[in-house]
């Protein structure tokens, strides 16, 4: 239940063996490389050339993956639907992490196909260049066609639109259909006018003496003179440009279909990317490590139970290497590794990890988080029907998708929370928001009601449930104080650890006895409770005074500890949200049922359809909004109230060499730990 104990490994070996040792370490997945401090007579060789080469390969692979991703969006458009439907290869593409787990050796095999894979990437790169070229050409042609369209009705070639000896010829498009300004002039003639898409086409001949006046008048009406001089008719040119555009579009279509044929290579790109990511990590480690002319030094952290495994693996590949193992020093920042079962890990990954990592030497909070998160989730969600659906949906997902290596933790977590919801919902009689009367109307409902022990809509039961919510909160807080006490004792802060933390456990325990005495009407239990509370208060006061020599400082410390009680009581009250959310889910469900139930009476036969829609949409909404509310409020109870007592989350998570992959999961050889 603790963070796994660690050992520091120092390796001194021949430089010729360094790559094979790093390769072995990467394949084990249980060694985190540590920074090696300065050492006399050693130097650092950054291996910049090799780093640059690997970075370039990673950039090319990255390009290929994102290019396929962009292409897949393009291929989903309707224009490709008939062609792509027959291309099964495209359907299996997936751009996130693959549901694949393999060993480092298996991953390394991909490097033998490297040249072929990089050649495919070159092909993709050429296709991308051609697509970019097509895009710019299409844009240019479309622009030209748009400009040329107004002149399609002209029956003279563009090159023939020119002035004569005495006349000026104006052909262009006016923004406004307004030639009244020209009427003041004597020597002009309008040859042609026509309304076109972008305005008003005009062809005007004027005497050369008036040409500047005509041009000025036309320009004041937004005149754009024809810019073309081609030796063709506009309609012929537009037709030829349109043909060119179709040819480009056809080529683009072909290119994307060629890309779709390369989709099966996506997995190879991903494997090679992850392989080179690890290679890059190894080269960076070599670049940061100290070395002499012939030897190198490497420091690392390993879980203590992996010591023999790591040692024998290194000896196998480099027998002349020296390995030194030692325990961590007090001032060293040691990485934390927690090893939990699959179920506990689901909560660790999705709840604890988003807050932080346990510090080395402290207790692993994950099993407690799993217990309390499940417990509170069921109480808050409180509808057994919803819980059943949640568990079934999560189980189905896990059965069908079969996520590898803990990647389906989110569904495992909500599956378990669903089970807790079924239990609490049964105890509260919550089944899809049905009221007691509705449940009594059928056999199964009556059977389920026999299991109901508390009713959230009953005056007395409300207070019991409210008390139960606060009581469960007190149990969680007591657990938090206990864990903090244990952590403090481990750090040799024995007196303050016991007095500051177990004082509260004693007060809660005494309070529990006191409450029990009221239920059982026993004065003996009552006295015991009061005595335990007083012992707790005395411990709390002593905790404030201890370690201080000045009487005023002692008093100040005692007051501070007593004042801290306000925070503890505020924390306890915060657990009232468990009951509040339980009410919300139940009552909204009930309202949906009542409204849906009224529909057949109001609307007759159509009412049954309306009722079905209201049931389905209403419960879906209630399920969604309450699942979200319960998820976030339950997380808050863990982060603020529970973790606030014992868990800072400031640890540094163990990050072994070769496990920071982006697209696949690597198997590792971590065995079951001995805990510290």
Partner 1 sequence: MLSGTAWALIGMGLAVGLSGIGSSIGVSKAGQVASGVISEDPSKFMKCLILQLLPATQGLYGFVIGFVVLLKLNIFSGTLTALSPYGGLAMLGACLPMAIAGLLSGIYQGKVAAAGIALVAKRPDENIKAVTFTIMVETYALLGLLISFIAVYIPNYA
Token pair of 487 as six digits: 């952590």
- Specify the residue, 144 or 584, whose C-beta has the smaller distance to partner 1: 584
Residue of 231, 399, 566, 632 that binds partner 1 (CB under 8 A): 632
583 sits near partner 1 (criterion: CB under 8 A)? yes
Q: Of 243, 268, 329, 325, which Cα lies nearest the Cα of 107?
A: 268
| Alpha-carbon gap, residue 141 to 245, rounded angstroms | 7
Count the neighbouring beta carbons within 10 Å of the beta carbon of residue 215: 17
Give the containing element (helix H, strand E) for 275: helix 266-288
332-361 positions binding partner 1, by CB under 8 A: 354-355
Instruction: Report, in Å, the least distance between residue 453 CB and partner 1.
Output: 20
| Distance set, CA 505 to CA 511, 568, 579, 639 (Å) | 10, 12, 23, 20
Instruction: Report, in Å, the least distance between residue 554 CB and partner 1.
Output: 35
DSSP code string of 26-49: HHHT--EEEPPPP-TT-EE---HH
Instruction: Report, in Å, the least distance between residue 411 CB and partner 1.
Output: 16
591 sits near partner 1 (criterion: CB under 8 A)? yes
576 sits near partner 1 (criterion: CB under 8 A)? yes
Residue of 625, 653, 655, 662 that binds partner 1 (CB under 8 A): 625
Instruction: Report, in Å, the least distance between residue 237 CB and partner 1.
Output: 40
Residue of 459, 492, 523, 550 that binds partner 1 (CB under 8 A): 459
- Specify the residue, 275 or 623, whose C-beta has the smaller distance to partner 1: 623
Instruction: Report, in Å, the least distance between residue 349 CB and partner 1.
Output: 12
Instruction: Report, in Å, the least distance between residue 94 CB and partner 1.
Output: 16
664 sits near partner 1 (criterion: CB under 8 A)? no
Quick one: DSSP state of residue 94?
-
- Specify the residue, 403 or 649, whose C-beta has the smaller distance to partner 1: 649
629 sits near partner 1 (criterion: CB under 8 A)? yes
Residue of 633, 659, 667, 675 that binds partner 1 (CB under 8 A): 633
> Which long-range contacts (C-beta less than 8 Å, at least 24 apart) are formed by 495-498?
495/546, 495/547, 496/543, 496/546, 496/547, 498/539
Binding part of the chain for partner 1, among 13-21, 178-186, 438-446, 632-640 by CB under 8 A, reads: 632-640
Token pair of 628 as six digits: 């979200």
**Furthest-apart CA pair in the chain: how many Å?**
127
| Distance set, CA 75 to CA 125, 135, 169, 251, 262 (Å) | 18, 16, 50, 14, 13
Binding part of the chain for partner 1, among 237-245, 401-409, 493-501, 571-579 by CB under 8 A, reads: 571-579
Residues near partner 1 (CB under 8 A), total = 29
Instruction: Report, in Å, the least distance between residue 450 CB and partner 1.
Output: 25
311 sits near partner 1 (criterion: CB under 8 A)? no
| Distance set, CA 354 to CA 176, 347, 351, 357, 524 (Å) | 64, 10, 6, 9, 47
C-alpha dihedral over 519, 522, 523, 524, to 10 degrees?
-120
| Alpha-carbon gap, residue 340 to 329, rounded angstroms | 26
Instruction: Report, in Å, the least distance between residue 351 CB and partner 1.
Output: 9
635 sits near partner 1 (criterion: CB under 8 A)? yes
- Specify the residue, 158 or 414, whose C-beta has the smaller distance to partner 1: 414
DSSP code string of 378-399: HHHH--HHHHHHHHHHHHHHHH
581 sits near partner 1 (criterion: CB under 8 A)? yes
Binding part of the chain for partner 1, among 20-28, 202-210, 387-395, 572-580 by CB under 8 A, reads: 572-580
640 sits near partner 1 (criterion: CB under 8 A)? yes
| Alpha-carbon gap, residue 372 to 476, rounded angstroms | 7
| Distance set, CA 159 to CA 142, 153, 231, 261, 451 (Å) | 21, 15, 5, 47, 95
- Specify the residue, 306 or 661, whose C-beta has the smaller distance to partner 1: 661
462 sits near partner 1 (criterion: CB under 8 A)? yes
Binding part of the chain for partner 1, among 23-31, 215-223, 421-429, 456-464 by CB under 8 A, reads: 456-464
Answer left, alpha or beta for residue 500, where phi above 0 means left and psi between -120 and 50 means alpha: alpha
The Cα angle at residue 541 between residues 537 and 545, in degrees rounded to 5: 165
| Alpha-carbon gap, residue 656 to 654, rounded angstroms | 6
441 sits near partner 1 (criterion: CB under 8 A)? no
427: Cβ–Cβ under 8 A, 6 or more apart, which residues?
Answer: 451, 452, 453, 454
594 sits near partner 1 (criterion: CB under 8 A)? yes
| Alpha-carbon gap, residue 568 to 645, rounded angstroms | 10
- Specify the residue, 282 or 345, whose C-beta has the smaller distance to partner 1: 345
- Specify the residue, 445 or 629, whose C-beta has the smaller distance to partner 1: 629
Residue of 14, 192, 636, 660 that binds partner 1 (CB under 8 A): 636
Residue of 169, 587, 610, 673 that binds partner 1 (CB under 8 A): 587
Instruction: Report, in Å, the least distance between residue 432 CB and partner 1.
Output: 17
| Distance set, CA 629 to CA 28, 477, 579, 626 (Å) | 41, 22, 13, 5
639 sits near partner 1 (criterion: CB under 8 A)? yes
Instruction: Report, in Å, the least distance between residue 642 CB and partner 1.
Output: 13
Q: Of 196, 498, 216, 487, which Cα lies nearest the Cα of 368?
A: 487
Binding part of the chain for partner 1, among 135-143, 304-312, 397-405, 576-584 by CB under 8 A, reads: 576-584
Binding part of the chain for partner 1, among 223-231, 387-395, 507-515, 589-597 by CB under 8 A, reads: 589-597
The Cα angle at residue 630 between residues 627 and 636, in degrees rounded to 5: 140
| Alpha-carbon gap, residue 660 to 652, rounded angstroms | 15
Name residue, tokens 């007083």.
534
Instruction: Report, in Å, the least distance between residue 589 CB and partner 1.
Output: 11
465-494 positions binding partner 1, by CB under 8 A: 466
- Specify the residue, 518 or 591, whose C-beta has the smaller distance to partner 1: 591
- Specify the residue, 348 or 543, whose C-beta has the smaller distance to partner 1: 348
Instruction: Report, in Å, the least distance between residue 590 CB and partner 1.
Output: 8
Question: Interface with partner 1 by CB under 8 A: which residues?
Answer: 354-355, 457, 459, 462, 466, 573-574, 576-577, 579-581, 583-584, 587-588, 590-591, 594, 625, 628-629, 632-633, 635-636, 639-640
């Amino acid at each position: 239940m603790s963070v796994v104990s660690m050992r520091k490994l120092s390796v001194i070996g021949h430089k010729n063996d360094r790559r094979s040792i790093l390769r072995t370490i990467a394949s084990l997945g249980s060694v985190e490389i540590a920074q090696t401090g300065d050492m006399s007579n050693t130097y650092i060789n950054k291996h910049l050339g090799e780093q640059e080469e690997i970075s370039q390969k990673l950039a090319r692979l990255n390009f290929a993956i994102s290019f396929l991703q962009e292409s897949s969006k393009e291929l989903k458009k309707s224009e490709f639907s008939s062609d792509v439907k027959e291309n099964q290869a495209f359907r299996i593409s997936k751009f996130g992490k693959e549901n694949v787990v393999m060993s480092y050796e298996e991953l390394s095999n991909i490097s033998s196909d490297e040249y072929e894979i990089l050649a495919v990437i070159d092909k993709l790169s050429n296709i991308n260049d051609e697509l970019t070229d097509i895009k710019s050409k299409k844009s240019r042609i479309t622009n030209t066609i748009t400009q040329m369209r107004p002149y399609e009705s002209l029956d003279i070639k563009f090159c023939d639109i020119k002035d004569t000896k005495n006349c000026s010829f104006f052909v262009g498009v006016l923004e406004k259909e307004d030639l009244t300004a020209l009427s003041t002039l004597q020597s002009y003639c309008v040859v042609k006018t026509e309304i076109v898409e972008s305005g008003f086409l005009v062809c005007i001949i004027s005497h050369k003496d008036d040409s500047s006046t005509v041009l000025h008048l036309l320009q004041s009406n937004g005149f754009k003179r024809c810019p073309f001089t081609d030796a063709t008719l506009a309609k012929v040119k537009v037709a030829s440009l349109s043909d060119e555009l179709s040819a480009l579009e056809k080529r683009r279509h072909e290119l994307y279909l060629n890309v779709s044929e390369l989709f099966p290579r996506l997995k190879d790109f991903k494997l090679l990317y992850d392989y080179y990511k690890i290679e890059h990590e190894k080269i960076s480690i070599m670049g940061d490590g100290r070395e002499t002319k012939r030897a190198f030094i490497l420091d690392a952290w390993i879980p203590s139970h992996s010591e023999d495994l790591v040692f024998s693996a290194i000896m196998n590949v480099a027998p002349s290497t020296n390995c030194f193992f030692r325990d961590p020093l007090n001032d060293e920042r040691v990485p934390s590794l927690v090893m939990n079962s699959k179920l506990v890990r689901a909560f660790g990954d999705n709840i604890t990890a988003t807050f932080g990592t346990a510090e080395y030497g402290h207790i692993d909070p994950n099993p407690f988080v799993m217990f309390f998160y499940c417990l509170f989730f069921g109480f808050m969600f409180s509808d057994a029907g919803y819980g059943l659906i949640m568990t079934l949906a999560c189980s189905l997902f896990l059965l069908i998708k079969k996520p590898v290596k803990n990647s389906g933790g989110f569904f495992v977590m909500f599956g378990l929370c669903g089970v807790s919801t079924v239990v609490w919902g049964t105890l509260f009689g919550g089944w899809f928001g049905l009221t007691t009367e509705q449940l009594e109307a059928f056999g199964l409902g009556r059977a389920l009601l026999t299991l109901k022990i508390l009713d959230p809509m009953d005056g007395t039961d409300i207070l019991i449930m409210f008390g139960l919510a606060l009581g469960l909160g007190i149990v969680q807080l007591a657990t938090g104080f206990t864990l903090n006490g244990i952590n403090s004792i481990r750090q040799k802060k024995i007196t303050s650890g016991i007095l500051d933390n177990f004082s509260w456990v004693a007060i809660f325990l005494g309070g529990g006895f006191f409450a029990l005495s009221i239920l059982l009407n026993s004065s003996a239990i009552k006295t015991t409770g009061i005595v335990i509370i007083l012992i707790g208060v005395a411990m709390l006061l002593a905790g404030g005074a201890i370690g201080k020599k000045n009487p005023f400082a002692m008093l100040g410390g005692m007051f501070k500890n007593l004042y801290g009680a306000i925070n503890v009581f505020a924390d306890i009250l915060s657990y009232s949200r468990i009951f509040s959310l339980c009410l919300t889910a139940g009552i909204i469900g009930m309202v949906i049922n009542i409204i849906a139930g009224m529909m057949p009476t109001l609307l007759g036969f159509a009412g049954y359809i309306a009722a079905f829609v209201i049931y389905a949409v209403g419960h879906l909404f209630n399920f969604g909004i309450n699942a979200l509310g319960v998820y976030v409020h339950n997380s808050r109870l863990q982060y603020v109230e529970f973790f606030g007592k014992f868990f800072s989350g400031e640890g540094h998570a163990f990050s072994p060499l070769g496990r920071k992959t982006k697209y696949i999961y690597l198997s590792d050889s971590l065995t079951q730990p001995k805990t510290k």
